[in-house]
Every structure is written in structure tokens, then in C-alpha cells.
Amino acid sequence: MVKKKGLGRGLKQLTDEAGIPGVALAEPAAKRRPPAELPLSVIDSNPYQPRAEISAESLKSLVESIRQHGVVEPVLVRPVKGDRYQLVAGQRRLEAARHVGLATIPAVVQDLTDEQVLVLSLVENLQREDLSPVDEARAFQLLTSQFGFTHDGVARAVGRGRSYVSNSLRLLGLGQTAIAAMAEGRITRGQGVALLAIPAKERTRALAQALAGNLTVREIEQIARRSRAKLQKGAAKVVEDPYIRDIVSRLEEILSAQVRVKSRGKGGEIVISYSSRKDLNRLLTILQPTENPF
């Protein structure tokens, strides 16, 4: 796991240079360089780009704007091996410039760490054009699993609340059908968060109703409340151990997964839930960072 370093007060100046206001990253040691015209052929894509797809409609309007006025705002890139550059911010501008057939594009060149590239890419997409809840959650997950961010750390870096970040990460445990529906815009983030409160056995029916347009967020929340009441009815009241509750909360934050602790005498067992083989591999990289996922 890569250790975080330097997130703090140097951030605003860097994001202002990139045309991304409101969030700050650590100021790198290397001196900033003024904007330059770079050939599009030497700029590679951003491996940390959180957006899976670019809207064809938004790209079309940007293509027309660039055709008439050129690229008004520089993209942000970082130097890599062999006189090449890697895009950090400005994916839509770069794609639009290629569609227009431009040979060069104005660019700010900045020496940045992988961590800074991911945060800047995420912040740009959050502020310029809404990410899907799934793209956003996966970017948050990368910050926690690869760069060792806590939920608080992610929240500070991207200008969101801690509960927002935690709920986003929990969305990745909903299952592939719900995740695909959110990515395609067929259900909202709010509906997804509400579905999390429904027991897995009943969630499939509620999801189907939501996809059919028959359930609002409030109605899903009502189903969740009824489900919880049904489970608790007639059950013996158990006094929850605050120490166990705290341990579960910490484990869920570290793993971004549902965790249950079952006590048995002096011992017990820890149960970690996962939604897919890919999610299981993600948990493995957290628990054993030096191991290759299977």
C-alpha cells in the first residue's frame, strides 16, 4: 500500500493552475512550468481516470466549441518516460481536440505523484460534470485500497462529507445488477443507498420495483424500516457490546465492506461480505498487499 504524503495546504495553488477550484493537493517539489503547445500524439491517457464513459452529447458540443474558438483552457499533464506525457485533467478537451483534428493542444506540465493524479482527476470530474455513482465509488475505493486513505481523508481530498464517502463505498456491495443500473442511470444514488438498508433476500424485489419506476427513495426507505421491524419482532433483545460495535465500524471503514462479528464464549468469528470475485480480490489486496489476487 502506498503511503499518503503531503495532502494539505499546498493543494489550492495546484488545482487553480489546472482550472479546478476549491480543492488542494500537496505542492510538488518540482518547479511549475508555463503552458506549452504539445503534440496530441505525445499525450497518453490517464490510467486513473475515474469516468468510464464520456457522454456523446457533451463531447459533441465541446467539439463544436473547439472548432470555432480553439482550446481555451489548457489540459494538465505530467511527464513520463521517453519524452511523453500522461493526461491528468482535461480528458474531454483532449478527446474533442482529436475529433476536430488539431495537431497540438495547450497544456500545463506538472510533476505529480500517482496519488495526486487520481485526486485531481476525480475532483475535475466531480466539479465539471457529474460522475455516475459507480465511477465515483470506484475512485474512492482506489484512494482507500491503493493509497491508504481513510474515509475522512478521501472526504477532505475531494470536498465531500465523510458519510457521503462511506455510503458511496458501500454501494459497491449492492451486487452487479444494482451497480450496473446505477452506472447506466436507471436508478439514482439515493435509491442505491436506500436499498443498502434492505436485507439481501428482500433487496432483489425492491430493486426490480425501483427499476420499473414504481419506488421512490422514500418508499424504499419505508420497505427497509418494515424489514428491520419484522426481523426484530419476537426476537430476544440483545444488549450490543459497544467494544464489538466499535471494532465492526473500524473494520467496515478499512475494508469498505459489510462486517459481522459473532461472539462464542471467549472467541468467535468475523464474517466479511463481498459482492463478486472482483470485490473478493479487492479485499485480498487490502488484507495481503504483497499477494497477487487470484
Asked if residue 292 has pLDDT above 90, the reply is: no
Domain boundary assignment for the chain: 11-158, 173-232, 242-287
Q: Nearest-CA neighbor of 256 among 139, 128, 160?
A: 139
Fold of 11-158: 3.90.1530
Q: Nearest-CA neighbor of 122 among 94, 152, 91, 96?
A: 91
pTM of the model as a whole: 0.60
Q: Write down the number of H helices and E strands in the chain.
A: 13, 7
pLDDT tens sequence across 171-182 = 988 888 899 999
At 113, is the secondary structure helix, strand, or coil?
A: coil
Asked if residue 222 has pLDDT above 80, the reply is: yes
Region class of 159: left (phi > 0), else alpha (psi between -120 and 50), else beta: left
Q: What is the 3-state secondary structure (H, E, C) of 283-294?
A: HHHHHCCCCCCC
pLDDT tens sequence across 91-150 = 888 888 998 999 999 998 888 888 888 778 777 777 665 678 888 888 888 888 877 788
DSSP string spanning 111-138? Answer: ---HHHHHHHHHHHHHHHSPPPHHHHHH
Tell me, rounded to whole angstroms, the distance of Cα 42 from its chain centroid: 28
- The alpha carbon torsion through 134, 79, 120, 68 (nearest 10 deg) reads -90
| 131 contacts 185 by C-beta, under 8 angstroms | no
Asked if residue 65 has pLDDT above 60, the reply is: yes
Asked if residue 156 has pLDDT above 90, the reply is: no
Query: How far apart are alpha carbons 79 and 86 in whole angstroms?
Result: 6
